[in-house]
């Protein structure tokens, strides 16, 4: 499919100044996507939980473009109120990809203001929240100018499609509770080009699951996720990984439907460790987990053995541990987190989070 539409152009003399503003969450993949092809297409399907408190807020101010320059899209970018030129190449690439979808962007000067509720580039999927927020702003601009995305389903799908062009995992952040990205015979309507909502597939126990994020390190990763995906092109275990991920997805979807927390937890932990094993066995190999990541994992395993409580973990492409557990067990599990794991966090920083209701227009 394609969203290219050359008719989405404005009458320059009628353009008025305005702004759009979205807050969009990060997400944590339970079955991971690692490895891509084509234009940001996944080598295997992935399924994620949408978060609530880990989010990006993005505001776009726009006005008629005063001068035609050499760049296709005229933009300025500010992160947490400061110019951040190091982000501009990725944004410029994104705008090149989406300009055929939103051709009116070439007629505007735009100013982008963005801020996170958590450290960026530290392995908490900041690109997912950032690019989904940006894509939602662009869809709002299109609907404001042309009235072409009045239906929620059409709006969300186009936002997911556009977000994917900036960051693959961003396409999943568009939907509340949980989302699936990647074509699979297990779910009708699934696609490699956009994510689909999965909230209706969830047993009640998975409607308000907790995901407390332990900030082991807020430092920028030495190896980006983009570079990590590229290592899969010649990875010795790549094809085996893609097949295994598809099998894991089958078991995960059944667990989510049945309310099987134990199977869910086993898959979440296995997927997290397999992701990092792929990094360590890449060429060249690299390691994103830190000593305190491993210490926390040991403590989680010991706690679960001793108490039989359903506390599990996941990891994104970084050192920070995601702690997954049902809402009904919070009062039994939270004291352990605060006494045993928070002291292992950088400066005691952690983020109490849970499944969220998805993006919000501000």
SS3 of residue 236 by DSSP: coil
Is residue 125 scored above 80 in pLDDT?
no
For residue 91, what are the contacts with CB-CB under 8 A and spacing of at least 6?
Answer: 75, 77, 112
The answer on 238 and 157 residing in a single domain is no
Closest C-alpha to 75, from 114, 113, 111:
111
What helix, strand, coil percent values describe the chain, rounded to 5?
A: 45, 20, 35
- Tell me, yes or no, whether 356 lies in a domain: no
The answer on 142 and 265 residing in a single domain is no
8 Å CB contact between 123 and 29: no
The answer on 155 and 110 residing in a single domain is yes
Position 70 scores a pLDDT of 61
The answer on 219 and 162 residing in a single domain is no
- Tell me, yes or no, whether 56 lies in a domain: yes
8 Å CB contact between 28 and 173: no
The answer on 166 and 23 residing in a single domain is yes
CATH number at residue 234: 3.30.70.890
Total domains, the chain: 2
Asked which of 124-128, 160-164, 338-342 is least confident by mean pLDDT, the reply is: 124-128
Record the tokens describing residue 332, joined without a space: 């039994």
Confidence bin at 218 (pLDDT 50/70/90): confident
Range(s) of the domain holding residue 293: 204-351
8 Å CB contact between 190 and 172: no
The answer on 244 and 179 residing in a single domain is no
pTM: 0.95
Cis bond before residue 284 (omega within 30° of 0): yes
8 Å CB contact between 318 and 213: no
The answer on 89 and 104 residing in a single domain is yes
Q: If you ran DSSP here, which 8-state letter would residue 339 be given?
A: I
Is residue 66 scored above 90 in pLDDT?
no
Record the tokens describing residue 97, joined without a space: 């990809």
The answer on 195 and 211 residing in a single domain is no
- Asked which of 169, 200, 231 is the last residue of a domain, the reply is 200
Confidence bin at 122 (pLDDT 50/70/90): low
Asked which of 129-143, 157-171, 212-226 is least confident by mean pLDDT, the reply is: 212-226
Burial of 193-213, coded b for 16+ CB within 10 Å and e otherwise, reads bbbbbbbeebeebbebbbbbb
CATH number at residue 51: 3.30.230.10
Record the tokens describing residue 69, joined without a space: 């320059």
- Tell me, yes or no, whether 7 lies in a domain: no
Confidence bin at 67 (pLDDT 50/70/90): confident
The answer on 256 and 134 residing in a single domain is no
Is residue 36 scored above 60 in pLDDT?
yes
SS3 of residue 53 by DSSP: strand
- Tell me, yes or no, whether 362 lies in a domain: no
The answer on 304 and 158 residing in a single domain is no
The answer on 50 and 182 residing in a single domain is yes
Residue 1: other Cβ atoms inside 10 A? 8
The answer on 246 and 174 residing in a single domain is no
- Asked which of 200, 235, 264 is the last residue of a domain, the reply is 200
Position 94 scores a pLDDT of 96
- Tell me, yes or no, whether 2 lies in a domain: no
- Asked which of 200, 221, 246 is the last residue of a domain, the reply is 200
d(CA 129, CA 101): 20
Closest C-alpha to 210, from 352, 6, 97:
352
């Amino acid at each position: 499919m394609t969203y290219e539409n050359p008719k989405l152009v404005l009458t320059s003399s009628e353009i008025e100044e305005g702004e759009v503003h979205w807050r969009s969450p990060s997400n944590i993949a339970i079955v991971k996507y690692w490895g891509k092809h084509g234009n940001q297409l996944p080598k295997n399907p992935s399924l994620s939980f949408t978060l609530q408190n880990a989010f990006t807020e993005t505001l776009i101010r726009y006005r008629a473009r005063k001068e035609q320059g050499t760049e296709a899209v005229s933009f300025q970018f500010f992160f947490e109120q400061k110019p951040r030129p190091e982000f501009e190449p990725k944004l410029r690439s994104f705008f090149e990809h989406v300009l055929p979808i939103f051709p009116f962007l070439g007629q505007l000067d735009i100013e982008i203001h963005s801020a996170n509720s958590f450290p960026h580039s530290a392995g908490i999927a900041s690109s997912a929240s950032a690019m989904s927020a940006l894509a939602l702003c662009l869809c709002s601009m299109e609907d404001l100018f042309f009235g072409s995305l009045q239906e929620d389903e059409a709006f969300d799908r186009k936002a997911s499609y556009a977000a994917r062009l900036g960051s693959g995992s961003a396409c999943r952040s568009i939907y509340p509770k949980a989302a699936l990205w990647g074509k699979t015979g297990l779910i009708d309507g699934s696609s490699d080009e956009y994510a689909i909502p999965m909230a209706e597939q969830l047993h009640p126990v998975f409607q308000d699951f907790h995901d407390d994020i332990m900030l082991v390190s807020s430092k920028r990763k030495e190896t980006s996720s983009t570079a990590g995906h590229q290592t899969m092109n010649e990875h010795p275990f790549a094809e085996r990984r893609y097949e295994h991920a598809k099998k894991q997805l089958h078991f995960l979807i059944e667990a989510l439907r049945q309310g099987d927390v134990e199977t869910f937890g086993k898959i979440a932990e296995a997927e997290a460790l397999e992701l990092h094993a792929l990094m360590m066995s890449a060429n060249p190999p690299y390691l994103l987990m830190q000593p305190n990541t491993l210490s926390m994992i040991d403590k989680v395993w010991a706690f679960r053995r001793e108490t039989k409580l359903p506390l599990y973990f996941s990891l994104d492409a970084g050192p920070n541990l995601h702690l997954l557990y049902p809402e009904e067990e919070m009062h039994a599990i939270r004291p352990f987190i605060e006494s045993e794991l928070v002291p292992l966090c950088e400066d005691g920083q952690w983020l109490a989070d849970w499944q969220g209701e998805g993006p919000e227009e501000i």
